[in-house]
Structure 1
Amino acid sequence: MDSEKAGVKYDGTNNAGDRKGSIYETYSPDNRRTSVQGRRISAVDDIFGEIKEGGPNYRNVGWLGTAILMVKTQIGLGVLSIPAVLDTLGMGPGLVVVIVIGMITTWSNYIIGTFKKNHPSVYGIDDVGYKLFGKAGKEFFAVVFVLFWIFVAGAGMLGIAISLNAISIHGACTAIFVAVAAIIGFALGSIQTLHEVSWLAWVGATSILTAILTLTVAVGVQDRPAAAPTTGEFHSNWKGVGHPTFEAAISACSSIVFAWAGTPAFFQIAAEMRVPEHYTKSLVLCQSIVGVTYVVIGVVVYYYCGSFVSSPALGSAGVLMKRVCYGLALPGLIVSTLLFVHIAAKYIFVRMLRDSHHLTDPTFRHWATWLSCTAGVTIISYIIASAIPVFGPLVSLIGALFGTLMCFQPMGAMWLYDNWHRPRNARWYAMASFAVFVILAGFFLMIGGTYGSAVDIKNTKDRTAPWSCADNSNSVKSAS
């Protein structure tokens, strides 16, 4: 029986009241019903099945919370590599790459919203793979999606370790700091719903933005960046056009892809929206904030630091401000890492328990599966962070090997899948050509960027041994 017609009440509030935070507010009356016992309200979702009062509500993120989750999946690790990318490519070409890749990924993010509207049962990019290429496509994209977020979580843990090293002036073995980052990522990443995580995303976004704005002011007013010679007069040697090798240039482009590579998380964020029709509004707000931040921070920091810019960029200020900036950024780096752990674990969790009441009922199997997923993701991410302890090249490798495959090729194919049989007019041919361009550009960046990143990791001077105690923040050198 329909719960609205039955006049069912919850905690003294009738259905017309739509108690905030409950599934009254999340679902229309047509999608609500009483539970089997007739005592609780439940609702049926295309992805999560029956969502009940008293269990986790996976459909309760508002449009503003959605926007901040989108922002936090992007502004974090990626922005810290942009000034170094401008140094490689030069100010002019670097800004062009930042803006063009931003425009392509914005289109990709928009396609996610329209595709989910057309196919409500799509939860992740693996569901897209199934529609496009059958079971083989589903399994392929499932593996790539999980590996992407595991690698990104590893980069997040490495960022936390660098931050702790900088704040403490290498107060402990780096391997210990990476382990601490992994423990934090597991504990906070095990929060069950994005609605509950969204307030942490506010904290994280505020933290990282405050840190990079502080860095921007610091490099503008200080005598010289931290990596510059300590004697003699300093003048920034920024350049309008760089002359990098192919490997360096394509690796730099891959770092920009990584900076915009929150795209695959948008599937899951959209799936937990209270009102999916607000997706585009959230997306526009997100991309506007991210785009302005990337351009302003990249230009100002590189202009004042020149070739002495650090990667991560927070190390570019003087000794004291370097510690201050990393201290301000630490909550943001923690939130980024917990989000990456959460997203990968949530995908595995939903896939394992989908079409089972254990997905939404707080049973032993529910909790054992969820904590096993977060623990497994954390352990593998920790191994990656310890085995590849160089921030810039790791970011570039993730952007090239996984970022393009998550942000470019599938979205072009998704547009073609939904629009192939539409009337062929000038607009159709223009959009089809753009979709094909996005697919081809993705393959070019993926192949070339992976090669360039591998060469970069091999040749980097900052590389330390796996599970090393060596300082990965250059704090000891800076403090001397």
Structure 2
Amino acid sequence: MGKTGDDLEDLGIAPSQIGEVHDDPANAHDAVFGEINGDGPNYRDVGWLGTSALMMKTQIGLGVLSIPAAFDTLGIVPGVIIMCIIAAITTWSDYMVGIFKLRHPQVYGIDDAGGLMFGRVGREFFGIAFCLFWIFVAGSGMLSVSIGLNALSLHGACTAVFVAVAAVAGFCLASIRTLSQISWLAWVGLVCILTAIFTVTIAVGVQDRPAAAPQTGDWASDFKITNNPSFTDAMTAISSLVFAYAGTPAFFSIAAEMRDPRHYTRSLLICQGVVTGTYIIIGCVVYYFCGSYVASPALGSAGATVKRICYGLALPGLLVTTTLVIHLPGKYIFLRILRGSKHLTSNSMIHWGTWLGCTFSVAVVSYVIASGIPVFGGLVSLIGAFLGTLMSFQPMGLHL
């Protein structure tokens, strides 16, 4: 189905061609950002490899650290089955994001898609949900960074101080204006977090027993093939798995900054393949060796020394996750304020003041959330249950 004049009028921009590609992205007109030239930031300069890195970094970060604990609740076989089902659903939903973006180049975020499908009410509803989701995720990211700093410093300062440090660092890095510039951070963060989680995976395999297990007498892992959790515990575990795949709402924003959106599906398949493979390997191996003594976050499962090593490796990755999830809602608010204005793609004082104000506001609210809910597992489950399913299992194809 083509775009209508009312659709475009609601979004306040001019139509552009389906599958729009910018041969010279430094001097072009974009349906979302308007005129892009050398005098301001280039918002259409993310290649397909950078897109893969950004997609993977929105997912491999916080969620993977809670997967072994989710398997402990569900049992390893039901856990893997449920994870594969969630992976299939989110992959289809993510694929439809790319198709939707090609059909409707004027769409920047999930709120614009909601507007096309459900009118102004849908646009505002999904816009609010998008902001809340990523602000909560940013709070969770700050909390994970503070846990890492606590581990490295042997609790050299109170958690509140480390959360504040994470908030300041996240704000500074999130204020980089384009995803093309952040994509190199995504690669660094991805390598760091993968190195850390595979290190702890190897460590729990070669150690005699996990750190939380009884340290005397014979010991064998009490992992469960299946389990019989209560409804509440099962839903909490499933919510954690949903959260591990809850990058979908970011994929609209990432696709909007791609140099060639036709390569979106290629990037998506790489992302989902790597993510699902990593989750299954990490979840199964760590849970198999640790059983009910698995820690959440999982980096603490192999003892104090390995925990410090792993958090040292993971800290850049956790900080990049925090950076990205502050950047996304900040840019959404920024676009809502300046869309259609010459200041959107300029280097004016209004541009910079608005942009820094948006990222600062997101960082502050996320800091308040992280300080108010200082329990990693609880915050992850809350996000997954409250907003993860809503934002990740959306039938974007309804308005193709």
The within-5 A match list for 1:248-263 is: 248-263=233-248
Residue 235 of structure 2 corresponds to residue 240 of structure 1: no
1:90 alignment partner, one of 60, 64, 75: 75
Q: CA deviation at 1:230?
A: 2.3
Residue 197 of structure 2 corresponds to residue 212 of structure 1: yes
- Corresponding letter in the other structure for 1:28: D
Q: CA deviation at 1:400?
A: 1.0
Q: Which residue of 1 aligns with 2:279?
A: 294
C-alpha distance in structure 1 between counterparts of 2:375 and 2:147, whole Å: 10
Question: Is there any run of 5+ residues in structure 2 with no aligned partner, and where?
Answer: 1-20
Q: Which residue of 2 aligns with 1:415?
A: 397
C-alpha distance in structure 2 between counterparts of 1:235 and 1:184, whole Å: 42
Residue 128 of structure 2 corresponds to residue 124 of structure 1: no
C-alpha distance in structure 2 between counterparts of 1:149 and 1:252, whole Å: 20
The structure with higher relative contact order (CA 8 Å, sep 6+) is: 2
Q: CA deviation at 1:183?
A: 0.5
Q: Which residue of 1 aligns with 2:151?
A: 166
C-alpha distance in structure 2 between counterparts of 1:47 and 1:415, whole Å: 20
Pairwise CA RMSD of aligned residues?
A: 1.0
Q: Secondary structure at the match of 2:27?
A: strand
Q: CA deviation at 1:54?
A: 2.8
Q: Which residue of 1 aligns with 2:371?
A: 386
8 Å contact from structure 2 (residues 129, 387) kept in 1: yes
Q: CA deviation at 1:233?
A: 2.2
Q: Secondary structure at the match of 1:311?
A: coil
Q: CA deviation at 1:167?
A: 1.2
Q: Secondary structure at the match of 1:301?
A: helix
Q: Which residue of 2 aligns with 1:406?
A: 391
Q: CA deviation at 1:370?
A: 0.2
C-alpha distance in structure 2 between counterparts of 1:157 and 1:402, whole Å: 19
8 Å contact from structure 1 (residues 85, 94) kept in 2: yes
2:254 alignment partner, one of 269, 273, 280: 269
C-alpha distance in structure 2 between counterparts of 1:177 and 1:203, whole Å: 22
C-alpha distance in structure 1 between counterparts of 2:168 and 2:30, whole Å: 33
Q: Secondary structure at the match of 1:340?
A: helix
**C-alpha offsets along residues 60-103 of structure 1, whole Å, 9 cap, x if unaligned?**
00000000100000000000000000000000100011111011
Q: Which residue of 2 aligns with 1:115?
A: 100
Q: Secondary structure at the match of 2:248?
A: coil
Identity %: 63
- Corresponding letter in the other structure for 1:50: E
C-alpha distance in structure 1 between counterparts of 2:277 and 2:290, whole Å: 20
Q: Which residue of 1 aligns with 2:16?
A: none
Residue 29 of structure 2 corresponds to residue 44 of structure 1: yes
Q: Secondary structure at the match of 1:50?
A: strand
The within-5 A match list for 1:313-352 is: 313-352=298-337
For normalisation by structure 2, the TM-score amounts to 0.94
8 Å contact from structure 2 (residues 117, 398) kept in 1: no
Q: Which residue of 2 aligns with 1:7?
A: none
Residue 362 of structure 2 corresponds to residue 377 of structure 1: yes
1:225 alignment partner, one of 203, 207, 210: 210
Q: Which residue of 2 aligns with 1:456?
A: none
2:22 alignment partner, one of 18, 27, 31: 27
Q: Which residue of 1 aligns with 2:168?
A: 183
- Corresponding letter in the other structure for 2:296: S
1:101 alignment partner, one of 69, 72, 86: 86
8 Å contact from structure 2 (residues 58, 247) kept in 1: yes
- Corresponding letter in the other structure for 1:96: I
**C-alpha offsets along residues 196-227 of structure 1, whole Å, 9 cap, x if unaligned?**
00000000000000000000100001111121
Larger mean Cα displacement after TM superposition, 83-92 or 163-172:
163-172
C-alpha distance in structure 1 between counterparts of 2:65 and 2:210, whole Å: 15
C-alpha distance in structure 1 between counterparts of 2:29 and 2:207, whole Å: 58
**C-alpha offsets along residues 7-44 of structure 1, whole Å, 9 cap, x if unaligned?**
xxxxxxxxxxxxxxxxxxx7237xx8xxxxxxxx7311
Question: Is there any run of 5+ residues in structure 1 with no aligned partner, and where?
Answer: 1-25, 33-40, 419-480
C-alpha distance in structure 2 between counterparts of 1:293 and 1:166, whole Å: 24
8 Å contact from structure 1 (residues 237, 306) kept in 2: yes
C-alpha distance in structure 2 between counterparts of 1:320 and 1:75, whole Å: 23
Q: Which residue of 1 aligns with 2:3?
A: none
- Corresponding letter in the other structure for 2:215: T
**C-alpha offsets along residues 159-200 of structure 1, whole Å, 9 cap, x if unaligned?**
001111111121111110111110111011101000000000
- Corresponding letter in the other structure for 1:416: L
Q: Secondary structure at the match of 1:264?
A: helix
**C-alpha offsets along residues 365-411 of structure 1, whole Å, 9 cap, x if unaligned?**
00000000000000000000000001111101101111111111xx3
Number of positions where the alignment pairs a residue of Structure 1 with one of Structure 2: 380
